[in-house]
């Protein structure tokens, strides 16, 4: 019986680290050989890391990536390896190399280049044209890359229909967003069923700046059933014995394929590539393939945030982080994620109480740090604030005290955090959430100071849910209950509450989602049942605060549309939504 022992190497590449990525690929090839695999597959652009962005405009980077591919080829003498890299012809291509018997036996060029959301591949790559099918010991295998499989009439369809591909291998770097894992799995099941083909989807895992790649690699039968699933948010080797004998029988039951072949005889770009026969060593069948259950919704988001913090800190050569702990829920969640990602001993929490900071907030910050094993310091800022006000008094004479004096406190805290960062070599993590960044309820050069905005893409209501989730996982209140239950406040003036400046988050968050993520108009949002005055206020605040967001630290993307490269609006913008 024809069979293929396939390994999907769900790996965590680092952009630009060609030597490190080469060693990682080499190690995984050796691991697959030890498991008697016939073929091992790596994610999209594994060799360069994804996305390499403007590194692709440097010819020496392209040349170096090709040299490393040449160095990888000899490692395929005992196994076939499919590796993502950048190919160069008259232009450059997002490509997959088939390494077989120590040589580059074939190359596939990505055909559908995404140019939406966080993607910008048309800026760099030329589209591929050919859709080869590789004959490996009598098994026909089509190879394509990421976006190619999202199109019903794309390479998957042509490779299976005209090239008789029985297995489709898709190398991917598909970034995470809430509900994306389920959506992707459903799409892959449709492709498998519609084309009566086994689908093996190998996805990148890891954090790269503001993007998270969740892994969640899959193998699906020709009937669209998941037969193997890798875990999410961690490296893994997914191995399965595939027997494509049922594919032909499945196709006999679908007369539509015959009709399409009859009336569209031109196979066009489908090329057959014969791989030299590999002698087979008889091996025992594997036990049941890995079938990791999907994460629950809140677990999924929390794990994405953890991975994003860990990779951002470690890949940039740091070990420790600094967080300003206010006693509020946003800094509490940021601290919890950082401690879980890096270990509490690598997190430094700094409480910076002012004259307006309540004793409850100070106690909550201290208890939080103790619960997570975080190093804790307190630096009172009352005297510093007074000195600033004294120095500015001659210039402020005749003006009422207000927002300027409030924001001075946030800016003093930012200066202190950056001083500690410079002295101790620890990255500052900012603590603002998506609701605040949307409305500008944050202080530029104050609480926005830092290297990574961990929860920048987490709406306030989801912040509450994630804190409660973290406590449920622990079975006790690691995040103090009072931190979750007390009214949110910046504590920059007496008795201040967030609702003094903003609508309640139960109203703000759905409006923000409708405007920022769904691009609904004023009238459409009002039509959902919200007050016209409140809708107008939220839209106005969102529009006028683009200049703040443009100067903010990168934030980990978890929603379908995040601020930054995902949502690009001009700072100087004369267009306003009509009432």
pLDDT of res. 2: 86
Catalytic residue among 14, 37, 44, 456: 44
Sheet (strand 92-100) strand order: 103-109, 92-100, 80-88, 39-41, 4-10, 236-242
- Domain boundaries, given as residue ranges, for the chain: 4-274, 297-494
Q: Which residues pair with 94 in a beta bridge?
A: 86
pLDDT at residue 531 tops 90: yes
What b-and-e string marks burial along 370-379, b requiring 16 or more CB atoms within 10 Å of the CB?
A: ebbebebeeb
Average pLDDT, rounded, for the chain: 93
14 counts as catalytic: no
How far apart CA 386 and CA 399 sit, in angstroms, is 17
Q: What are the tens digits of pLDDT across the range 463-486? A: 999 999 999 999 999 999 999 999
Distance CA 256, CA 549 (A): 52
pLDDT at position 579 over 70: no
> How far, in Å, CA of 410 to CA of 358, rounded?
16
What are the CA-CA distances from residue 80 to residues 25, 43, 200, 277 (Å)? 13, 15, 15, 11
Poorest-confidence range of 73-77, 177-181, 195-199, 275-279? 275-279
pLDDT digits (tens, 9 = 90+) for 263-288: 665 555 888 898 888 876 767 778 78
pLDDT of residue 578: 67
Res. 74: pLDDT tops 70? yes
For residues 78-84, give the mean pLDDT: 96
Which 3 state secondary structure label does DSSP give 177?
Answer: coil
Rounded Cα distance, 129 and 480, in Å: 58
Rounded to an integer, the average pLDDT of 293-304 is 94
Q: Please identify which of the residues 14, 121, 146, 546 carries the catalytic annotation.
A: 146
pLDDT digits (tens, 9 = 90+) for 398-454: 999 999 999 999 999 999 999 999 999 999 999 999 999 999 999 999 999 999 999
- Range scoring the smallest mean pLDDT among 106-120, 243-257, 488-502, 533-547: 243-257
- The pLDDT, as a whole number, for residue 71 is 97
Report d(CA 83, CA 42) in Å as an integer: 5
Asked whether this chain's domains 4-274 and 297-494 adopt the same fold, the reply is no
What is the average pLDDT across 209-231? 96
Q: What is the pLDDT of residues 532-559, one digit of tens each?
A: 999 999 999 999 999 999 999 999 999 9
DSSP one-letter code for 517? I
User: Catalytic: 335?
Assistant: no
Using pLDDT thresholds of 50, 70 and 90, give the confidence band for residue 346. Answer: very high
Q: Mean per-residue pLDDT for 220-237?
A: 96
Distance in angstroms (rounded) separating the CA atoms of residues 196 and 251: 6
The tokens describing 464, both together, are 């509450």
330, 455 in Cβ contact below 8 A? yes
Right CATH for 4-274 from 3.30.360.10, 3.20.20.70, 3.40.50.300, 3.60.110.10:
3.60.110.10
Rounded to whole angstroms, the Cα distance separating 489 from 512 reads: 20
Label each residue of 305-338 as H, E or C: HHHHHHHHHHHCCCCCEEEECCCCHHHHHHHHHH
Q: What is the C-alpha separation between 184 and 181, in angstroms, rounded?
A: 5
Q: Which residue has the tokens 């259950």?
A: 293
226 band by pLDDT with thresholds 50, 70 and 90: very high
CB within 8 A of 153, min separation 6: which ones?
Answer: none
E-strand spans in 424-518? 427-430, 452-453
- Quote the CA–CA distance of 306 and 337 in Å, as a whole number: 6
Q: What percent of the chain has pLDDT over 70?
A: 98
Q: Write down the pLDDT at residue 162.
A: 87
Helices and strands (H, E) in the chain, number of each type: 18, 20
- Please compute the mean of the pLDDT values over residues 55-80 and round it to a whole number: 96
Residue 369's pLDDT is what? 97
What is the predicted pLDDT for the residue at 262? 64
The model's pLDDT over 94-145, given as tens digits with 9 standing for 90+, comes to 999 999 999 999 999 999 999 988 999 999 999 999 999 999 999 999 999 9
Mean pLDDT confidence for 196-219:
97
Structure tokens at 390: 């004294």
Separation between Cα atoms, residue 112 and residue 104, nearest integer Å = 23
Q: How far apart are CA 214 and CA 212, in angstroms?
A: 6
Rounded to whole angstroms, the Cα distance separating 36 from 3 reads 13
- Residue 110 is among the residues annotated as catalytic for this protein: yes
* Tokens read off for 463: 């912040």
- Identify the CATH assignment for 297-494 out of 1.10.3230.20, 3.90.550.10, 3.40.50.620, 3.40.50.970: 3.40.50.620
Q: Which carries the bigger pLDDT value, residue 1 or residue 336?
A: 336
């Amino acid at each position: 019986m024809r069979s293929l022992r396939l390994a999907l190497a769900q790996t965590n590449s680092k952009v630009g680290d060609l030597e490190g990525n080469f060693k990682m690929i080499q190690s995984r090839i050796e691991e697959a050989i030890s498991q008697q695999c016939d073929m091992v597959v790596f994610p999209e652009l594994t060799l360069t890391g994804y996305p390499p962005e403007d590194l692709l405009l440097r010819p020496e980077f392209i040349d170096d990536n090709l040299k490393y591919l040449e160095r990888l080829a000899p490692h395929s003498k005992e196994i076939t390896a499919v590796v993502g890299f950048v190919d160069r012809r008259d232009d450059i291509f997002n490509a997959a190399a088939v390494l077989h018997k120590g040589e580059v036996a074939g190359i596939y060029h990505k055909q559908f280049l995404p140019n939406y959301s966080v993607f910008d591949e048309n800026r760099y790559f030329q589209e591929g044209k050919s859709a080869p099918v590789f004959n490996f010991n009598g098994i026909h295998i089509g190879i394509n890359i990421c976006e190619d499989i999202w199109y019903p009439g794309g390479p998957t369809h042509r490779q299976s229909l005209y090239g008789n591909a029985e297995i489709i291998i898709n190398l991917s770097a598909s970034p995470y967003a809430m509900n994306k894992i389920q959506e992707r799995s459903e799409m892959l099941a449709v492709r498998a069923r519609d084309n009566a083909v086994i689908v093996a989807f190998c996805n990148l895992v890891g954090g790269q700046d503001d993007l998270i790649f969740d892994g969640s690699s899959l193998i699906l039968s020709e009937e669209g059933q998941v037969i193997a699933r890798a875990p999410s948010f961690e490296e893994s080797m997914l191995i399965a014995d595939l027997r494509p004998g049922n594919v032909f029988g499945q196709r006999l039951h679908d007369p539509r394929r015959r009709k399409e072949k009859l009336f569209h005889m031109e196979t066009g770009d489908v090329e057959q590539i014969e791989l030299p026969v590999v002698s087979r060593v008889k091996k025992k069948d594997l036990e049941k393939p890995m079938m990791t259950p999907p994460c629950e919704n809140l677990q999924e988001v929390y794990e994405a945030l953890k991975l994003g913090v860990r990779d951002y800190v470690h890949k940039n050569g740091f070990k420790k982080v600094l967080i300003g702990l206010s006693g509020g829920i946003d800094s509490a969640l940021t601290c919890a994620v950082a401690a879980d990602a890096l270990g509490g001993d690598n997190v430094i929490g700094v409480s910076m109480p002012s004259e307006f900071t309540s004793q409850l907030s100070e106690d909550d910050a201290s208890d939080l740090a103790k619960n997570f094993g975080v190093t804790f310091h307190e630096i009172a800022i009352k005297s510093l604030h007074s000195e600033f006000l004294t120095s500015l008094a001659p210039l402020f004479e005749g003006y009422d005290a207000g927002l300027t004096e409030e924001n001075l406190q946030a800016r003093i805290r930012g200066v202190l955090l950056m001083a500690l960062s410079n002295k101790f070599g620890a990255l500052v993590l900012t603590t603002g959430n998506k609701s605040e960044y949307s409305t500008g309820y944050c202080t530029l050069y104050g609480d926005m100071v830092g290297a990574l905005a961990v929860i920048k893409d987490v709406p306030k209501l989801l912040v509450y849910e994630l804190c409660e989730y973290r406590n449920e996982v622990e079975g006790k209140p690691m995040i103090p209950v009072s931190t979750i239950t007390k009214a949110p406040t910046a504590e920059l003036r007496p008795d201040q509450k967030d609702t003094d400046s903003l609508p309640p988050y139960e109203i703000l968050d759905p409006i923000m989602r409708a405007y920022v993520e769904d691009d609904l108009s004023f009238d459409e949002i009002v039509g959902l049942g919200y007050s016209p005055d409140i809708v107008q206020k939220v839209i106005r605040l969102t529009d006028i605060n683009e200049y703040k967001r443009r100067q903010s630290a990168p934030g980990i993307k978890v929603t379908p549309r995040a601020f930054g490269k995902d949502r690009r609006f001009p700072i100087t913008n004369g267009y306003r939504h009509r009432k």
